[in-house]
Chain A
């Protein structure tokens, strides 16, 4: 679709680590760190809210093999946040490694380290704790200004003006808008108004949280962790332990999935505390149950939407209010919520005259939330897209036609998207292609099948961002080595996404070489150039641009060296990948010779480091269409076909972009239909294992068909935007829509289970 021709960018090259991963070679934290180290586990609170009156570790310490047990008395009394965000973090400083007050079922009470898992398990049972059990705040609706405070402490701090107030259980609060919303609503023919509820879904990456720590030869704390954010992790650990940041070195090996879970420091603080205090190597492997109850899941949100439209379907005003539940701590609370409005309302930019978006983020005594793919946009898009589908039904307008009338178009300024302009937007083409692939016009109407079954379709659109504008920093170092191969050194974290390969493809494109000629190293807080980390759909867009810049700089330096070799001026040289020649063709030197020259009598550093930050965050766009077969006698939903058409700008590696899309869709399907999080009256999570928290299997997702309709984003590397997060956003509203078309009932709460569907329909007799 674009005029740009690339050699390596746009090719479906294999991921550099693919074969080693597929063959199960040692690559992950527990594979590449010593087996012989202290086992670290955490004693967890059985109460949602309590004060530790007494805690006795004497008997537990006598268990043979126990090295140390730490309680709140042993940790610094300076609060910090575990959120992996750029400093000063919007997330409040509300944590201690161990606190006298425990705030959710699963909160840390004591840290035990010992020589074996058995010894540690025995010791955990022998720690005696006397709790003063307090009334918990379990209902997010009554949290704000509740008499019970989750964080009454005086050393609670909020570093940014996000509307936080711990004396009101508020983690954040704000409102924004454009135009006179009330006046426009007053002129609308139809107003749809509903509230939508999404759960605290789990990222459920296959590798649980895990960290190894040791003291290195320089007396520094060496941390090997499954993390998306080596630099933030260094800062957070320094805050938590109250030690200089210079004393900490964080690196990540291969990561067994993250999806945002590992954008928070979760497991790291415990072994770090043990190693810092004992001087001994230590390892913590979260169990799946711990990952489910003391991880960093999606923020539960209740999103109230009002959409005002004319009879002809012109959408003129949207009003969104989001109540977000950050749980016991505020990680990512103030920021996720913003996306619920700012990345849903702009989808309907075309005729929008006014919008309002307000939110409260409240503390409660349940598991603290964090960052999960989609980061608030997922919740908001479920709500706004559902409301638009309800509007279409009420106006009796085809929901695709309604969207075509109102969707944001290329070149438009988007007041609800921080005033940014949609410079690159192929949403209209995505819709046209999806409609064609899906045969929407034929399949939009429900079809009766045999045996009580009905087939029905649903549609939704989505957007996201590409990095955090004016905040995220991506960096890359590129250097030449013997024979002329390159090292690309990054601080972004490949967590399976393939960014090591994608960034190498970009470097290969710039340097006119093969991807195999570029080796990739990262991420390491000592050795990598600074990078905010891999989150917020930033790596391709932000770090990718840094790669491009660094390569340009390196080429200049190599040409300088070559000019010396050929006895000419730099501007007389031409870089041609495997050689550098004089423009007039009179001489050339091979890249290998240039590389050799850089290592002998050469004063020019044969490497370049560049950083990049972007004043804008260009949204990727997409359309999803789902066909289901619904069993009217059991309520079961069978997915038949899911069509997704994505505008991620230039797909740097179409294979990896496709698999990102498919993976995101299936996570979205899980969120829509299966993955529940419920609490009992004591605040305990029922779905605390994979036995109860049901991920979709390959029998639960039907057939996926993915295509790309690319726009070209001028500010991105080779026209790229992002793809990592957007792909999770369409299944919930598209499936809710299909279920409505099959049953006539709107489900506004996720997951939409077979039970909910059947019980929403009158029993036939």
Chain B
């Protein structure tokens, strides 16, 4: 059972940052994961008064506040237009609408959970995160860092010519994923992200240039097979490593082919 001694709503990011330097404090996200833990929290810090529950569109980027919910990602017209609905695809299988109205972007990314659909997709979008103390840094870097005593303020997705596709495999439609896969092509650079391995999502690029001439059936298969060889996968309750390896081939190939299809009409625009 979760026990919380004190609940605080800081009125500034500085105050929140100061508070979270103390031991035994937790910054609250959607509380979906935290609530299940049996632990004693001294102070729970709720960022809900800081106006971070918004998605702002600027001239060059989308700035997604840490307290924006997964449901907001799912229904945001601009973000989904830019991502060919891959953002909605990445979150729509997460439990249910009520859950996604609670779960926050900040909570999903700060925990850097192995099962995270959201981390998988934002890695493929080459997103940045803004930490209150640590400043702006690539999500990819943040994902590798140890747990910090800092406040994740927002996620920033720069507006670029993004082509992205999302695939996941689940045992039931709303279960945790057995494997997640996001593939993107941004300004000519291909990224392939595999998550729920069941370890934290990892990013691959097309170092050997297999896809440089554009995606087709053959190179999609070759690329997918190559990723399946390189990716480190493991076993958990949901599936074994061998199955995940075979799935990798399918999901990467399918995501690439979706990307290829999305790409064609875009070019003619």
Contact = CB atoms under 8 A, between A and B. Distances in A.
Interface centre among B173, B178, B242 (most CB of A within 10 A): B173
A700 B237 contact: no
B1 A121 contact: yes
Contacts of B251: 634
Contacts of A635: 243
B1 A692 contact: no
Contacts of B172: 674, 694-697, 699-700
Contacts of B173: 697, 699-700
Nearest to A675: B172
Contacts of B171: 674, 694, 753-754
B95 to A, nearest CB: 9
Interface in B242-269: 242-243, 246-247, 250-251, 254
B84 interface: no
Given A759-B242, A759-B243, A633 B250 contact: yes
A763 interface: yes
Interface string A724-765: 000000000000000000000000000001110011000100
Contacts of B243: 635, 755, 758-759
A538 interface: no
A636 interface: yes
A686 interface: yes
A526 interface: no
A592 B243 CA distance: 72
B250 A634 contact: yes
Given A118-B3, A635-B243, 15 more contacts: A117-B1, A452-B250, A633-B254, A634-B251, A674-B171, A678-B237, A686-B237, A687-B237, A697-B172, A699-B173, A699-B174, A754-B178, A755-B178, A755-B243, A759-B240
Q: Is the interface of A mostly helix, strand, loop or mixed?
A: loop
Contacts of A674: 171-172
8 contacts: A121-B1, A633-B254, A634-B169, A692-B237, A695-B172, A697-B172, A754-B178, A755-B243
B14 interface: no
Contacts of B239: 753, 755
Contacts of B144: none
B175 interface: yes
Nearest to A689: B36
Nearest to A754: B171
Contacts of A451: 254
Nearest to B225: A765
Q: Is the interface of B mostly helix, strand, loop or mixed?
A: mixed
Interface in A649-676: 674
Give 3 nearest A-B pairs by CB, closest first.
A699-B173, A633-B250, A755-B243
A696 B254 CA distance: 26
A659 to B, nearest CB: 22
- Please classify how large the interface on chain B is, using the bins under 10, 10 to 19, 20 to 34, 35 or more: 20 to 34
A39 to B, nearest CB: 12
A696 B172 CA distance: 7
B246 A758 contact: yes
A33 B103 CA distance: 34
Given A686-B237, A754-B169, A755-B240, A634 B247 contact: yes
Interface of B: 1, 3, 36, 169, 171-176, 178, 237, 239-240, 242-243, 246-247, 250-251, 254
Given A686-B237, A697-B174, A699-B174, A636 B169 contact: yes
Contacts of A691: 36, 176
A678 B178 CA distance: 17
Nearest to A678: B237
A636 B178 CA distance: 12
A451 B250 CA distance: 10
A583 B158 CA distance: 91
B50 to A, nearest CB: 30
A763 B240 CA distance: 16
B185 to A, nearest CB: 21
Given A121-B1, A686-B237, A763 B174 contact: no
Contacts of B246: 758-759, 763
A156 to B, nearest CB: 35
Nearest to A674: B172
A686 B174 CA distance: 19
A758 B247 CA distance: 9
Nearest to A632: B250
Contacts of A692: 237
Contacts of A697: 172-174
B172 to A, nearest CB: 5
A204 to B, nearest CB: 13
Interface string A305-343: 000000000000000000000000000000000000000
Interface centre among A452, A634, A696 (most CB of B within 10 A): A634
Contacts of B3: 118
B180 to A, nearest CB: 13
Contacts of A700: 172-173
Nearest to A756: B243
Interface centre among B36, B242, B250 (most CB of A within 10 A): B250
A404 to B, nearest CB: 35
A744 to B, nearest CB: 18
A700 B173 CA distance: 6
Contacts of B178: 754-755
Interface string A624-639: 0000000001111000
Interface string A685-707: 01100011011110110000000
A678 B175 CA distance: 17
B166 to A, nearest CB: 15
A678 B251 CA distance: 28
Contacts of B237: 678, 686-687, 692
Nearest to B179: A634
Contacts of B254: 451, 633
A43 to B, nearest CB: 14
Contacts of A121: 1
Contacts of B36: 691
A695 B239 CA distance: 17
B230 to A, nearest CB: 17
A691 B254 CA distance: 28
A518 B154 CA distance: 62
Contacts of A634: 169, 247, 250-251
